[in-house]
Structure 1
Amino acid sequence: MKILRNTIPVSDVYNLMKSGELTINRSYQRGKGLWPNNARSYFIDTILNDFPFPKVVLRQVVDLKTKKSKREIIDGQQRLTTIRDFIENKFKLTSVSKKYAGMSYEDLPEEVSAALLSYEISIDNIVTATTEEILEIFRRINSYTLPLNTSEKRHATFQGKFKWFISNLTEYVTPFFENYKTLSLREISRMMDADLITECCQLCIDGVQNRGASKLDNIYKENDESFDLEEEIYEKVISSFNFIKDNLTEVFDSCKVPSYIFYSLMGALIYNKYGLPDAKNDFQDLEPSGSFANEVNQVRDELIRMFSEAEEKDEDGKYLNFVKASIATTHSYKNRLMRIQTIVSVLQN
């Protein structure tokens, strides 16, 4: 068995598929049609923005009847058929492509379509290999990756409105998480940022909840085909986050703000400005003020003190209840509510 590693432009791959010189071997490929339009659009958008994607694996064989060489796709069927279908104007890009939404291949500016055709695809071309060796390669390709966690499974399962809404929000917010170590790079790579943003949206939909994978799955499921609250939730989440970014970065510079405290801060800001569903019994005397904070400088100082006490597990400080709610079972409803209530009281002075 010999493997030739090189790159091939999209134009060459397309012409190989069109001529029948590059085919799909159904013996070790999954059925076609697995990618919905949003996923196909996101993949084409990846190429249009010159981002890399995983290499494609081909097998080169000789047809004894025609005495011609041809190639079979071992790994990369969905990627290559999506490229072919787009070039043949079989689908238009959805809103997940920010620059080219609504465009088919023929609608692209000339320089963009030229760049698409010249994009280099990384290829492993396997020659002189037996069918047994090819099947072993395919098995190994599918065994290298880590098992999907619940976040990754959720984003692989749902391809509708809410999934791409969260994808756009994470693109905007995640650099902040990375910069201030709210989430580690490993956590971000395993889509914990998407989980955190989803839970912030959940606050607007269902109010304060204990963490539960099934609850998040339901939000994706219920808003997969249509998402009527999209504009409202976008406004609440983004404006609350922007308030943090514009006014409270000193808090993040001064002390560690882990994801469960970020969730609590977002919950408090959303509640104080907009209110939360079914929150009357939860907050009682703490009515929403209609603004994010009354005295920003004072709020900033108090949050630094509160979060520092939590980081140091200081049970002799001013914010004992907040500290206790930050030590264990940080994602329980009781402790989440306690932290949010305490931050709201600071926002309202």
Structure 2
Amino acid sequence: MTPIVDSHRLSVAPMMDWTDRHCRYFHRLMTHRAMLYTEMVTAPAVLHGPKPRLLDYSAAEHPVALQLGGSDPVDLAQAVRIARDWRYDEVNLNCGCPSDRVQSGCFGAVLMQQPRLVADCVKAMQDQADVPVTVKCRIGVDDQNPEEALPQFLEAMVAAGVRHVVIHARKAWLQGLSPKENREIPPLDYPLVLAMKRQFPELTICLNGGVTSLAQVRELLSSGLDGVMLGRAAYHDPGAVLIGADRLWGLDHAPTRIDVVRAMIPYVEAHLAAGGRLHQITRHMLGLFHGLPGARGWRQVLSTEGTREDAGVAELLAALARIEGAAEAA
């Protein structure tokens, strides 16, 4: 298990349908230290669903956090107790997702309106946890005034014993905007998040939302924040924001993108031998060479030949040959 040394300085956001175990293994090859998050798993799913399928991961992924969704303290506590056997490094409560499905289940961003309930949830989770319980939230929802709602929410978290909060620096509009629009349309308010760090110095506060480069990460860290969480940039252009990120911890780990592909081959072989399909892994790798010569050919091979039921390592190597050929021609 990789020791956690300020792993919150950089993290990769939990993203539904994206940050599954294959994606996280791929990301871990590029950064040893950044915290990786699972997709959100609902507490009822952990209680009643196929636990190994929902909770299994590779030991190589550490440090890795489990994100739970829910609003029932009893269910969340039971889910945390079950998940203890999987030895995650952190458990995070989702209070930021704006999807309709999340609203109907009374969890996610809608919980910004019920800080006392969230406090009860995290207290119940802490009673069963042997790792930190953290919270991911928005700056507010709908007609809330973030300058009032956010500090009230954080006060409730501090009182409940929370010591680490990730703040998506946008409001969530639960009525009128789609989940995709909620990631793009509400304006970012970095100054408010910075003000919360000054107001709550005892909290580890990480900022999420709109960060697209390591230069931005360094600037935000130098402004006083404890950490930065990357979302879509880490998925669509991982080589640009994850390779070299370990320098934030003084480490000189910076493999080439081609090194990363070759390091994935044993993992791919094991997955195929267990009955899996190539595309389940390589769909997360499409953006690795974003903006570089050969990137289009790389994507084409993986999106066509790589999606065949019998596709294997040969197709991955064929895609890589497009990159290597373009580099030789340059």
TM-score normalised by structure 1 residue count: 0.24
Larger radius of gyration: 1
Higher helix residue share:
1
